[in-house]
Amino acid sequence: MYYQSRSLIIKSMDYRESDKLVTLFSEKEGKLKAIARGIKKPGSSLRACVQPFCHSLLFFHQGRELDLITQGRLLDFYGNSREDIKRTLHCMYIMELLDKSLMDRAAMPRLYGLTLSILQYINNNGLNHLVLRYFELQLLIQLGYRPVLDKCVNCGRQGGFKNFCLEAGGMLCPDCSAGEQNGIVLYGEVLGLLKLMAHGNLNTLQRVQASGAALEKLELFLERYLEYHLERRFNLKNTIRVLKKSLS
């Protein structure tokens, strides 16, 4: 059986003599691995379509174990990002995050659209750390971990609380947080940015001027929140930290 889908290339590695094993995030099928056959032969038209963080329309043939990529058309290469090492590394980081956090064969069209717009944004405007944090938070939300920020996640009491509990996935009021050791203190600008990113879109976000200190705290918070869930879900220790080492 044949099918086609727009896809973002997460990574590709050598496989047998002239093939590549490609990990990709497809719009219709979600994350999957497929084989691009004969790609290392001169003149292979597929070669350009399966480079990391390319956006391509791919045609697949369903195989017994792994599907084959039979044809492809490059839709976007993100050329500006590719010419700039920092942007390239951050785009690779986004791909790695998808690789580490998505289940196989579970379509996530909203996340797919969001990833496209972030790659486009970085290509057209350069790096913006708030936009990267926005991607991390939206990824968590799409995976089902929307943080509860305006009430106590445990008892539902309304109020401006400051103690975020990773395990509960939200703020705890003073009663519910008694004895809680691992809370993260969130308030002021950082909390405001989180709320904005949880509900806002890329257009509103790119006009926001955040302080360096708030961005740093935001980054640390999202790092811990992501790690907490990825570790529990996939048994990956310190994934984010390792991934981020390659960015500096």
Nearest distance from residue 140's CB to Zn ion, in Å?
22
Which residues of this chain interact with Zn ion, rule CB under 5 A? 152, 154-155, 157, 173, 176
Nearest distance from residue 162's CB to Zn ion, in Å?
13
Nearer of residues 173 and 190 to Zn ion, judged by Cβ: 173
Nearer of residues 63 and 156 to Zn ion, judged by Cβ: 156
Dmax (CA) for the chain in angstroms is 68
Nearer of residues 137 and 176 to Zn ion, judged by Cβ: 176
Nearest distance from residue 15's CB to Zn ion, in Å?
52
Closest by alpha carbon to 96, among 144, 170, 31?
A: 31
Nearest distance from residue 146's CB to Zn ion, in Å?
18
Nearer of residues 104 and 175 to Zn ion, judged by Cβ: 175
What is the rounded distance in angstroms from the CA atom of residue 74 to the CA atom of residue 51? Answer: 10
Tell me whether residue 31 is exposed, middle or buried, using C-beta atoms within 10 angstroms of its C-beta: 0 to 12, 13 to 18, 19 or more: buried
What is the rounded distance in angstroms from the CA atom of residue 28 to the CA atom of residue 5? Answer: 6
Half-sphere exposure of 128 (CA within 13 A, CB side): 21
Nearer of residues 38 and 183 to Zn ion, judged by Cβ: 183
Amino acid identity, position 50? V
Nearest distance from residue 218's CB to Zn ion, in Å?
24
